[in-house]
Amino acid sequence: MHRSLDTTTVDGLVRELDILIRARYPLIAVNTFEEVRFRRLITAVAQIERHRPKGLFLWSRTQGLRQVAGSGTGPTDRPVPDTDDPLSVLEHIAQADRGLYVLCDYVPYLAPFGQEEPLLVRRLRELAWAIKTKAVTVLLVGAGFPEIPTIEKEVKVVDLPLPDEREVTKLLDLELDRLAENPDVRLTVDIRVREQLVQALLGLTESEIENTLAKAAITHRGIGPGAVPLILDEKRDVIRQSGSLTYSHPEPADHLGGYANLRRLLQEAAVTFTPAARAFGVEPMKGILLVGLPGTGKDLTKKIASSILGRPLLDLDFGSVMGEGGGVIGSAAMSIKRALGIATTLKGILGLSEFEKGVGGLQSSAQSDAGETARTIAHLLNWMQEQQDVFVMGTANDVRQLAPEQIRQGRFGQVVFVDLPTVEDRADIFRVHLQKRDRDPEAFDLEELAAASEGFAGAEIEAAVKGALLDAFMDGAREMTTDDVVRRVRSIRPTSEVKREEIEELRRWAREHLTVDAVHAEATSGQRLIEF
């Protein structure tokens, strides 16, 4: 069984660990990158009166087993002899009558190079049976516990969540108190700046928070309003280094030309997250799956949603993480789980690009990777079903690759078909792209441009405007005209001509499956929500 620990406060984490230990779970695997933070939490657990007599022991391959807390422990660690290798420490624990044993980075010995180590796994399984009736608990701490079917019933797997808002606030206050003791550091932190700092730091680990605040203090010789942009930039770098997420800037709502119904749906979603709506009993909208051709503005819409909902956009390139055709590449499962943890902590918008590619390998997973892809996809879909704080925006070019259960109600609130823009939408899209390049749309014949660009997607309209601007510049840097844009339009062969059959097939799918139309106010079959 796999779950996340309670994220209410540090006290809540200690209480949850206490409950698991008292419930006599013999083996607990804690997935976390923050070993030092976990050590502090388990030390707090060991100080609880009921656990204090047990003693707290830490094991690593470099230092062996050491007692660090509990009855009879002095001011220094007490090493336990003959416990240096992974097997000997299990033999020692098997002889104990009580104790909390934390094994750090033990997982690589259980599954070296992704393959189960039979002897060690069997001994760990026997240990779980032996200590079930004793006051002994083994906690395996590392970045991720692998799927090992042999012992999956003996191991309780939990995720240590990132610091939540209350914990971040405590960490910030501790750092500010420390910096206040330095006469060369200037602190200008009022209530508003403090709130901004906390929001900027959410999504980082404890050590990342400490390092980021130290960098801000050194750069600005203090902490104040100017530290917030630096912290946000640092957070973007940290998130980017996670290997799966991109922290994207929002786009103003008026940068999306046309598609009025799609903008209305986003505004409707924003309302569902307001405190007043929740108090009224309205449930937050789960998210939207955008289905349509490349170039119709699906990725732009995610940035528009960030602006309308007032939430950070974390974009997960699901297709590249899972691999072409859905195969798991390297630590894809771990990357996705960490990405979901960051999105949950930030309560942001999670973008799932190329959703159909990410889940495309589900059926062949048992043959291609022993079911690892299927388990990862199942974890994602279960998270989408259960979570309430993150707005998920998926995009798919070919939704026919998706099974009905992957996009049913409860995972996406709406499935929206993004068709080619209408003539009115094309005029609006031309207006947006002219304005973005500091040109007055009223100086152009938008109706003529819209009529000339029949079958064009938004990306092709943008390409025509950019090309016309270049033509005008190369022709003596004169003012761009409607004729310049029309010539560029006529030089482009739109995707709607190249992939005519695919477009019609996609439209047929949308009609049959009752998706919401991004262009029109009603769904293609007169209904608002997708049904299967």
Q: Which residues are within 8 A (CB) of 470 and not within 5 positions of it... i.e. 6 or more apart?
A: none
Do 18 and 145 share a domain, yes or no?
yes
Do 258 and 352 share a domain, yes or no?
yes
Do 21 and 83 share a domain, yes or no?
yes
In a domain, 473, yes or no: yes
Do 85 and 230 share a domain, yes or no?
no
**What is the pLDDT confidence band of residue 404, given thresholds at 50, 70 and 90?**
low
Backbone angles phi, psi at 68, to 5 degrees: -120, -10
**What is the pLDDT confidence band of residue 70, given thresholds at 50, 70 and 90?**
confident
In a domain, 202, yes or no: yes
In a domain, 248, yes or no: no
> Is 89 within 8 Å of 64 (Cβ atoms)?
yes
Give the C-alpha separation, 275 to 442, whole Å: 41
Stretch 498-511: mean pLDDT: 78
Do 15 and 150 share a domain, yes or no?
yes
The pLDDT score that the predictor gives to residue 109 is: 93
Q: What angle do CA 151, 154, 159 make, to 5 degrees?
A: 95
Q: Which domain-ending residue is among 206, 221, 241?
A: 241
Give the C-alpha separation, 43 to 240, whole Å: 32
In a domain, 523, yes or no: no
Do 190 and 117 share a domain, yes or no?
no
pLDDT mean across residues, the chain: 83
In a domain, 86, yes or no: yes
What residue numbers bound the domain in which 41 lies? 2-159
**CA 496 centroid distance within chain:** 33
> Is 337 within 8 Å of 380 (Cβ atoms)?
no
Q: What is the pLDDT of residues 337-349, one digit of tens each?
A: 778 888 888 888 9
Q: Which domain-ending residue is among 144, 159, 174?
A: 159
65's enclosing H/E stretch is strand 64-69
Shortest CA distance to 24 belongs to which of 151, 130, 159?
130
Structure tokens at 366: 């048992």
C-alpha to C-alpha distances, 170 to 18, 35, 125, 181, 238, nearest whole angstrom:
22, 19, 39, 17, 21
359-368, 473-482, 514-523 — which one is most confidently predicted on average? 473-482
In a domain, 321, yes or no: yes
C-alpha to C-alpha distances, 260 to 257, 291, 294, 418, nearest whole angstrom:
8, 16, 19, 11
Q: What is the pLDDT of residues 248-279, one digit of tens each?
A: 778 888 888 888 888 888 999 999 988 899 88
In a domain, 505, yes or no: no
In a domain, 372, yes or no: yes
What is the helix, strand, coil percentage profile of the chain, to 5? Answer: 50, 15, 35
Q: What is the pLDDT of residues 467-489, one digit of tens each?
A: 999 999 999 999 999 999 999 99
Stretch 12-19: mean pLDDT: 90
Do 450 and 408 share a domain, yes or no?
no
Do 414 and 429 share a domain, yes or no?
no
Do 129 and 225 share a domain, yes or no?
no
Do 314 and 412 share a domain, yes or no?
yes
CB neighbourhood size of 473 (10 A): 11
Do 155 and 180 share a domain, yes or no?
no
**436: CATH:** 1.10.8.60
Structure tokens at 36: 């030092």
Q: CA-based diameter of the chain, in Å?
A: 89
The pLDDT score that the predictor gives to residue 94 is: 94
**115: CATH:** 3.40.50.300
Stretch 74-88: mean pLDDT: 79
Strand 186-187, strand 516-517: pairing? unpaired
Do 155 and 45 share a domain, yes or no?
yes
Q: Provide the number of structural domains found in the chain.
A: 4
> Is 239 within 8 Å of 340 (Cβ atoms)?
no
C-alpha to C-alpha distances, 271 to 49, 54, 138, 350, 390, nearest whole angstrom:
47, 51, 46, 18, 14
Q: Which domain-ending residue is among 241, 275, 297?
A: 241
**What is the pLDDT confidence band of residue 28, given thresholds at 50, 70 and 90?**
very high
The pLDDT score that the predictor gives to residue 18 is: 94
**What is the pLDDT confidence band of residue 5, given thresholds at 50, 70 and 90?**
low
CB neighbourhood size of 227 (10 A): 25
Give the C-alpha separation, 470 to 458, whole Å: 19
Stretch 432-440: mean pLDDT: 93
Q: What is the value of pTM for the model shown?
A: 0.71
Choice among 24-33, 90-99, 218-227, 312-321 with the minimum mean pLDDT: 312-321
